[in-house]
Structure 1
Amino acid sequence: MSLLSLLLDIQILLIGLQVDNFIHCSWIYVFIPFIVFFITLSLFLIERKYDFHERWRLWIVPIIIFLFFIPFFIFLGLKLDGKIHWNYRIVFIPLFIQVIFHYLGLFWNGFWKYDLGSQILLFLILPAFWISILILWILYLERKGIHHVYYPLIPIYLLLLFSFIPSYFSITKLVKICFQKD
C-alpha cells in the first residue's frame, strides 16, 4: 500500500508542476503514475484462493472498474495537449462506463457483501481522489481562460457522490457485526 500512496503523491506533485508551467511535457507523461496506480491496484485485487464464481463476484468487477481509468487518462492527456479535438463528453466516456460498472458491482453483489477493506477503499479513497481531480482540472481550465466548463461536471460529481452512499451503509453494518457480542 505504501507503493500506491507513493504513486498518488508523485501524481499530485506532477499535476501541480504541470499546471504551474514548471515542467513542459505532455499530459500523458504527467498521468503515468495514475495509470501505473490503477494497473497495480488491479493486480493486487487478483486472489487465487477463491473459486471462479467467488473471484468474479469479489474481484473481477472492481478490476474492470479500475482498468477503465486508463483510457480515461490517456484521452484526457491527449485532449489537454491539444492532439485530439474531441468534445470533453467523448473524453469522459470511459468514466461513464466506469460508473456503470461501479453500480453494476454494487447491485449485483448486494450492498452488504463487500469486505471491509474494499468498503473503506470505495468510501474514503475514491471520493477524495475524484474531488481532487475535478478541482485540479477546473483550476487548470480556468487558468487557460475557459470559464464555466465545470457546469457539465456537476451531474458526474453528484452521480459519483451518490454512488458511495451504499458503501457507507455497508461499512456501518459491517462495523455493527464485528463489534456485536455473541
Structure 2
Amino acid sequence: MADFKSKILEQVTNIKGQNNNFSVSCVTVCHNEYQIIQQFLDHYRSIGCARFIIVDDNSDDGTSEILEEQRDVILFRPSNGARFRENVGNWRQDLLDHFCDGQWVTLPDVDEFLYYKQMPSTLPELANEMESLDNEALLAVMLDMYGDRQFYEQTYSGERPLIEEFPYFDGSVAQIR
C-alpha cells in the first residue's frame, strides 16, 4: 500500500492474500451504492475480474464497509478536499497509471453490468482473444435498461436483481434474458 502516491486519493485497503493473477481488472467510482454494490462485484467476478480498484466517494450508507471486507478490492477515498466533479478523471488516470499499465481493464459505473453476447465465457478469455488479434481495446455500446414504469419513476429498490427490475431497453419492448 505504501508505494501508491496521489495528492487526490488515499488508499484504504489492499488485496487480501497473495493473488497476483489480474489479467482483467475492474476500475470504478461509487457513492452510496449499498443496494447494488454486492451485485456489481458478483457480476464482474462471474465474468472473470480478479481485482477491483474502487474509489468510494464518501459514501455514508454502508457501501464503504462492504468494500473494506472484500478480499479482491483495493479501496480508495478522495483526499485533500478532492471532489467528484473536478477530479473523477484524475482519480481514474492515477489508478490506471499505477495499477493497470499494460493490462486489460473494464471501466464500468456501478450500475453498468457488462453483457456481450458473443463474448467467450470470461473477460480473461476475451482479453486473450483480443491480444491474439493484436487489438488493444474493445469498444462497446451501453444500453440503458428500464422497468415498466414512467421514466421519472425508475428507482432501483434493491429487492430483486437489477436485471429483473430493469429488463427493457430503449426503443424496444424486448427483454434481455
TM-score by length of 2: 0.24
Over alpha carbons, which structure has the higher Rg?
1
Highest relative contact order (Cα 8 Å, sep 6+), 1 or 2? 2
TM-score by length of 1: 0.24
Write 1 or 2 for the structure with the bigger share of helix: 1
